[in-house]
Every structure is written in C-alpha cells, then in structure tokens.
Amino acid sequence: HVQLMESGGGSVQAGGSLRLSCAVSGHTPSIHFMGWFRQAPGKEREGIAVIDRLGSATYTDAVKGRFTTTISQDNAKNTLYLQMNSLKPEDTARYYCAADDIRRLGAYVTPTEVLQFGYWGQGTQVTVSS
C-alpha cells in the first residue's frame, strides 16, 4: 500500500511561483509512475503532468513550459515536486498527486491517465489572483 501527502499550496498573484511537494510512503518499489492532476470548482479533474521513476516527464499543453515535476529519492524517502512558474488565475484549483503500481516502466503514459492511477493524496489548494 502507498500513502501520498501534498503540501505547499497557497495564494499567489498572477505571474508568481509556487512549489508543491508530495511525500510518498509505503511500498514504493512498486511505483513506476507518478503525476499531478487538478480540479477547479465546477470543472472536471484535469491530469497535468506524469513522470516515471527515472525522471522522464510529460505535461499537458495548459502547463507545458511553466510547470516542472521532479522526483527526489533520498535514503529511501521519495518526494514528488511540482514547480509552478508564471502562474495564471486559471491555474486556481486543488492540486493532487497520484501514484501508479500497475503500469510498467517503459509504458507510454499521458498526463490524462494520471486520473486512472490507484493512489491519490488529499490535495492542496492553489489560488492565483489577478
């Protein structure tokens, strides 16, 4: 079993930056893919980034060039990060990290498929004001 916990959300003005963290615990050797999705009020969930355990990442067009996701593996402690730059009011949403223990390394996984991952965190709110 895997547990995820996000942190780092908050309020920022347009053009600003935030970095989200996702602490991963549990049986992590089985995790080959992780990612981020978000949900704004009244809107559907949107997968925005996926990364494999080797650090190769793919982004949805809405965040490409502005957001970067990375994985840190330090002394068996895994942390997923999402660096968000040039934030826009339309980025306002609750952000979730997710992990998958089904897809094998080497598989082609799109950001949209993050919504199918089996493990989710509780989310952290990001609010961008104009």
Check residue 75 and give its pLDDT: 65
Check residue 26 and give its pLDDT: 87
Q: What does the chain come to in residues?
A: 130
Tell me which residues of the chain have a pLDDT lower than 50: none
Check residue 61 and give its pLDDT: 97
Supply angle C-alpha 84, 86, 91, rounded to 5. 65
69 CA to centre of own chain: 7
C-alpha closest to that of 36 among 25, 47, 24: 47
Contact 48, 60 (CB under 8 A): yes
Contact 54, 105 (CB under 8 A): yes
